A and B are shown apart, each in its own frame.
Chain A
């Protein structure tokens, strides 16, 4: 099956810093999403981005489908950005059967 690798596994930053999280995938995909899991375990979808670039406030994401990677940018980090960020993909069109990476744990210190 498709492999999803995220880097770095852990990232510790001071409030106000910028960060870039990377997701590599082993095969072409029709669906790529970024999720945030907060410290209480709740999962929220951030972006649906199988290709191209999207922005939502301080967050933006870019997927280069031909090179099989996606990047999540967080600017001017806040303590509420802390948590685990997951990339998830689906190989071919279907019922959103997502394959998740292992995540990047982001800690923002005040």
Chain B
């Protein structure tokens, strides 16, 4: 049981390049999330999904796109990377039950935009 797996763990991009971050969970969770964490700050929600085929904007969605074609995967895309998107990106997931379930986090992807 791997939990939440993020790929890649590290990446360096040049301004204007594009890339996709992959998040995979094996817990059959309905909800998935992408956050970014800048130095010295808490996490901020970029986009989230409440089920396969659905996505919604979070607190800081500009410059990012997401897709949830399969329940277990949530992809975060940067179409034209900018230095302001240098950050650590976390994916999380949780289930939908009557009782509260905490979010399970991946180990993060450290992304640098030059």
Contacts and interface: CB of A to CB of B under 8 A. Distances in A.
A98 B107 contact: no
A31 B102 CA distance: 11
Contacts, number: 49
A43 B105 contact: yes
Interface residues of A, number: 22
Interface stretch (A55-63, A74-82, A99-107): A99-107
Contacts of A43: 43, 90, 92, 105
Given A41-B107, A95-B31, A95-B48, A101 B42 contact: yes
Interface string A68-110: 0000000000000000001010000001111111110000000
Interface in B55-113: 56, 58-59, 88, 90, 92, 94, 100, 102-103, 105, 107-108
Interface of A: 1, 4, 31, 33, 40-45, 48, 86, 88, 95-103
Given A33-B102, A41-B88, A86-B42, 18 more contacts: A1-B59, A40-B107, A42-B105, A42-B107, A44-B105, A86-B43, A95-B48, A96-B33, A96-B103, A98-B43, A98-B45, A99-B59, A100-B42, A100-B43, A100-B44, A102-B40, A102-B42, A103-B41
24 contacts: A4-B42, A31-B100, A40-B107, A41-B107, A41-B108, A43-B43, A43-B92, A43-B105, A44-B105, A45-B102, A45-B103, A86-B43, A95-B31, A95-B48, A95-B56, A96-B31, A96-B94, A96-B103, A97-B45, A98-B45, A100-B43, A100-B44, A103-B41, A103-B42
